[in-house]
Structure 1
Amino acid sequence: MRTPLIYQMTCYDCGPTTLVNALRFLYEREELDPELLATIYARTLDDFNEAGEAGKLGTSHQAIRHVARYLNMYGSGTGFPVAAEIWSGEDALIAPGSKAFRALEEYGAGAGGRDDRGAAAAASASVAIVARIWHGENGHYTLLTGVEDGRVLAFDPYLEDAGEGLANGTVDGDRVRLVAGRPLVANRSVDPVAFHSDVKANYALKNAVNADPTDPRIGELVVIRRTDRGVSLPTA
């Protein structure tokens, strides 16, 4: 049984929520072991604010990388069909024809057709991507699940007030549109242009220019895939 994707319960837990959503999107509930959930929450919410309060700066990208490595080791050790790759630089470009865009287009939710909840799309999907982006003035994690009509499908775990949004609400009706009634797949449809900006723009991948010099030049993605469906990810 597929279960709906979920929203974060605090202002800080977008990291673990997005990782959990990747698993909810790719696997049936009965396929998932509680060890996966326990490890995700144990290894995230590691960043601290200027007052030294743990978790109050969310999850570092080092922790996300650590979970990606864990998924690989878990898959190798148990035979569970999961693998994760970290893509950065040119590999992290999200634009028509790019490596990441083609992975979503070929193996994401768009290939499964449309229905009232996204069940068919989710059931056929083999790839999900965790993206580290800007959300207003804050760093944020969101899940990319497919491509539809040339736009990237995403599930943003931060719930905005309907009709009001945040002071810097992400849904503008143009670059970022609301997707309703598809809780198994997406709540946003994003123009690929939004992902690449050298300023703190909504949905721009965090990179060495708009975030921190230690970040990859273009940005970084964690690509999570089912390994039991013959997926051959693009190489370039």
Structure 2
Amino acid sequence: MHTPLHYQVSEYDCVPTALINAVSYLFKRKQVPPMVIRHIYLYCLDTVGRNARFGIGGTSKYAVRLVGNWLESYRFKNFAVRTVFLEKEGVRLDSDGPIQNCLDQGGVVLCNIRLTQKEEHYIMITKIADDWVHGFDSYFRTAIRGMKGHVSILESGDGRSPNLKIRLSWLDQPDCRRFCLGPVAQREALLMWRMT
């Protein structure tokens, strides 16, 4: 049985929630070893804020890369994934790029997007079709203001379908608008697909 996708429980846990959702999307519940869940939460929420408070800045790109490396090296029964961490110019949405290739092979892409000039957020992309990027946003929203024609919330009745779509040309912008990849120098994404 596949597990429904999850929403964040705080303002800071988009990365571990996106990682858990990626694993849930790729594997049935009985195929996911507890060690995978443990290591995702062990490595994430590693930033340090004021007064030495852990996790206030969410999860660093170094932790995302570390989790990706660990997941790729871990094998247990039917659990095996391939991961690739992309950054800067490597985060491309063109039809023959690594992101589209991962999606075409049944994988998912955990992608860092901009919500504001200073606020970043990870979403899970499941497909790109008809000039739209479809994915699951673990931050529960009922509406998105000021984004009509560019970003839409979708009904995810089965708990596993995309709940967000972003116009491809909007998402791929380098300027710091909402729901876009942002400056090339700050882009990052983790590709994950199941090994057979």
State the TM-score, normalized to the length of structure 2.
0.88
Q: 2:164 aligns with which of 179, 182, 188?
A: 188
Cα deviation for residue 151 of structure 1 reads 1.3
Partner of 1:86: 85
- Are 2:149 and 1:174 equivalent residues in the alignment? yes
Partner of 2:18: 18
1:175 maps to amino acid: H
Q: How does 1:112-127 map to 2 (within 5 A)?
A: 126-127=106-107
Secondary structure, in 3 states, of the residue corresponding to 1:35? helix
1:227 maps to amino acid: M
8 Å CA contact 1:93, 1:218 repeated in 2: no
Q: Which runs of 5+ in 1 are unaligned?
A: 108-125, 209-216, 229-236
Cα deviation for residue 173 of structure 1 reads 3.4
Cα deviation for residue 182 of structure 1 reads 4.6
Q: How does 1:1-236 map to 2 (within 5 A)?
A: 1-75=1-75, 80-104=79-103, 106-107=104-105, 126-136=106-116, 137-160=118-141, 162-163=142-143, 165=144, 169=145, 172-180=147-155, 181-207=157-183, 217=185, 219-228=187-196
Cα deviation for residue 176 of structure 1 reads 1.1
Using the TM superposition, name which of 144-153 and 12-21 deviates more.
144-153
8 Å CA contact 1:8, 1:14 repeated in 2: yes
Residues 52 and 69 from structure 1, CA distance in 2 versus in 1: closer, same or farther, beyond 3 angstroms? same
8 Å CA contact 2:32, 2:79 repeated in 1: no
State the TM-score, normalized to the length of structure 1.
0.74
Cα deviation for residue 97 of structure 1 reads 4.2
What fraction of aligned residue pairs are identical, expressed as a percent? 25
Runs ≥4 residues deviating over 6 A:
none
The 1-side partners of 2:176 and 2:89 are apart by 20
The 1-side partners of 2:166 and 2:24 are apart by 21
8 Å CA contact 1:152, 1:191 repeated in 2: yes
Secondary structure, in 3 states, of the residue corresponding to 1:173? coil
Between Structure 1 and Structure 2, how many residues are aligned?
A: 194
Q: Which runs of 5+ in 2 are unaligned?
A: none
Query: What RMSD over aligned residues (CA atoms) do the two structures have, in Å?
Result: 2.1
